[in-house]
Structure formats: structure tokens, C-alpha cells
């Protein structure tokens, strides 16, 4: 086993060694696997209506019951996990990449560019994410693409500010001055020396922001601005069940539990990630 592989294995062990990281990571792995193999583990289609089986409570035939159109709720929950998790994760990934690039450039070059970026970022930071998302979805239009763009922009300021502060702290370090004196260009210094050392706090922030993004995606879906029927999402499922709370409470309870437990699991896994990154830093300091 190479030294790099040993480090990564130690890093993963450190995450799952803590109860919080093990519980959170275990739940996330189960949800992801269930969503990926949904067509193999459920005999029902998520978009086929069987009206004669509408409003059936949980039973051996339908483990989580059926909705108002007779569709199996467990099937839609699994397919909804695909929508909610993929939209949230991809949106945060786009936001991280764009935010880190913008924040790194602003923190490294400074000057008028830094002031302009900081002004725009601070202005967007002053508005709640849900308000920014609602405005952008209203402009772009409802659907998965509009939701992803809205979430990515809503969290862009968070990663740009964090990266900027990290770069401004690191750019005066000795190894940066040494690289500059050896003739390294700006791109080499940024991407080879500064960004890798600024990645850890951004990674933790992105992990925790993914949980918030799931809630935001569910909120947009609840308002009918997310994935459009018949594509299931947890928020849209909760919206359809909100008016049936006393007639068929399982329609809204199970998607709501899925959102709540998944967000809690992400935060627990984030705690384990924070501890693991601290261990990794200690390992590097001893080398």
C-alpha cells in the first residue's frame, strides 16, 4: 500500500470511527444505494397511476402505502431520493467550484477586482437563500434545471467569502513567497499551493450546505417550483400530501421523515469529517 493510499484509508477510518460519522455515513450510504438500485428492489413504477388502489395505508403489499393516484409511496420515495440528492449535490458542487474560483481570484489579486467581488458577494449574502432561489426560479422557470441554478447561486457567496478569507491568510506564507521567487506563475501558485491548503474548511462547509440545499430543494418542490410531475421529489410529495394530512397522513409523513433524517445524517457525517480533517492535519504536522 502506498503512502497516499494509507493516508486516505486513515482518513476514512477517522470519519467512521466516531459514532456520529458512522451513523450519518451509514444512513447516507443506504439511501444512495437504495436510490441507485430502485428499479431492482421495487416492482412498481413511480409514474403509473392505479386509481382503484388510491389512499391505501401501509401494508405488506405497499410498505409505505399509496398516494392519491394509487402510486406506491416507497417507490416514489426512492426515486424522489434520486431527484433530491442529485439536484442538491450537483448544485452545491457547481457553487463550490464557482465560489472557490471567484473567491480565490479576489483574495489573491486584491485591488479593485477584490472590492467589486466583495461588494457583490456581500450584497447577495444579505438576502436569505430561499428568497434568492425563489427569484431565480421565477426568472428561469420551474423544473430541475431552474432549481439547480437557483441553489448554486444561492450558496455561491458562502464559498466565495470562505475561500477569499483562506487565500488572504495563506498568500503571505513562506512557501508561497518561495514559489514566486522561483518564477511560478499566478495560476501555479493558486492551484498548486493555495487552493489545496484552503480546501479543508470549504469541504466541511460544502458538506453541511448540502443538507441545507436538500431542505431548499424540498421547499421549492413543495411550492411546485422544483421537479415537475410525474418526476417525484421529496418536496413535491410533501406538497401533494399536505391537503390530505387527516385522510392519508402517510403521504406527507414519510417524505418529511426522509428529508429530516437525511439532513441530520449529513450534519452527523459533517461532524465526523471535521474530526477526521483535524486528524489529517496532525498527521501532516508529524511528517
Q: pLDDT value at position 5?
A: 54
Domains of the chain: 10-37+71-286 (1.10.3720.10)
pLDDT band at 149; cut points 50, 70, 90: very high
Question: What's the CA gap between 151 and 83, in Å, rounded?
Answer: 14
What average pLDDT score do residues 38-52 get? Answer: 90
Residue 221 pLDDT exceeds 80: yes
Dihedral over alpha carbons 175, 180, 185, 186 (to 10 degrees)? 70
> 134: how many CB neighbours lie within 10 A of its CB?
18
CA distance 104 to 106: 5
> Would the pLDDT of 278 be above 80?
no
Give the pLDDT score at 178.
83
pLDDT of residue 4: 56
Please give the Cα distance from 96 to 93 (Å, whole number): 5
Cα end-to-end distance, the chain, whole Å: 18
- What is the pTM assigned to this prediction? 0.87
84-113 burial, b if ≥16 CB within 10 A, otherwise e? bbebbbebbebbbebbbbbbbbbbbeeeee
pLDDT at residue 60 in the model: 92
Q: Residue 147 has what pLDDT?
A: 92
49-73 per-position pLDDT tens digit: 999 999 999 999 999 999 999 999 9
Percent above pLDDT 70 for the chain:
92
Amino acid at each position: 500500500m502506498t503512502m497516499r493510499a494509507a493516508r486516505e484509508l486513515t482518513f476514512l477510518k477517522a470519519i467512521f470511527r466516531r459514532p456520529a460519522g458512522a451513523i450519518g455515513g451509514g444512513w447516507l450510504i443506504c439511501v444512495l444505494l437504495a436510490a441507485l438500485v430502485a428499479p431492482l428492489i421495487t416492482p412498481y413504477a413511480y409514474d403509473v397511476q392505479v386509481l382503484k388502489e388510491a389512499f391505501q395505508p401501509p401494508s405488506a403489499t405497499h410498505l409505505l402505502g399509496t398516494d392519491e393516484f394509487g402510486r406506491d409511496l416507497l417507490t416514489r420515495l426512492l426515486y424522489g431520493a434520486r431527484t433530491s440528492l442529485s439536484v442538491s449535490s450537483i448544485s452545491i458542487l457547481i457553487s463550490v467550484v464557482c465560489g472557490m474560483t471567484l473567491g480565490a481570484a479576489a483574495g489573491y489579486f486584491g485591488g479593485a477586482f477584490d472590492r467589486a467581488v466583495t461588494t457583490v458577494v456581500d450584497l447577495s449574502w444579505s438576502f436569505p437563500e430561499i428568497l434568492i432561489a425563489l427569484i431565480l426560479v421565477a426568472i428561469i422557470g420551474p423544473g430541475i434545471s431552474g432549481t439547480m441554478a437557483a441553489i448554486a447561486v444561492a450558496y455561491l457567496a458562502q464559498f466565495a467569502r470562505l475561500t477569499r478569507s483562506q487565500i488572504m491568510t495563506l498568500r503571505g506564507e513562506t512557501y508561497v513567497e518561495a514559489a514566486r521567487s522561483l518564477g511560478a506563475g499566478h495560476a501555479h501558485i493558486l492551484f498548486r499551493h493555495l487552493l489545496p491548503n484552503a480546501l479543508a474548511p470549504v469541504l466541511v462547509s460544502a458538506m453541511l450546505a448540502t443538507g441545507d440545499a436538500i431542505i431548499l430543494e424540498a421547499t421549492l418542490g413543495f411550492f411546485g417550483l422544483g421537479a415537475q410531475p410525474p418526476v417525484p421529489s421529496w418536496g413535491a410529495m410533501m406538497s401533494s400530501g399536505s391537503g390530505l394530512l387527516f385522510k392519508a397522513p402517510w403521504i406527507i409523513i414519510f417524505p418529511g421523515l426522509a428529508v429530516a433524517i437525511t439532513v441530520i445524517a449529513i450534519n452527523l457525517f459533517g461532524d465526523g469529517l471535521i474530526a477526521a480533517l483535524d486528524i489529517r492535519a496532525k498527521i501532516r504536522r508529524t511528517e
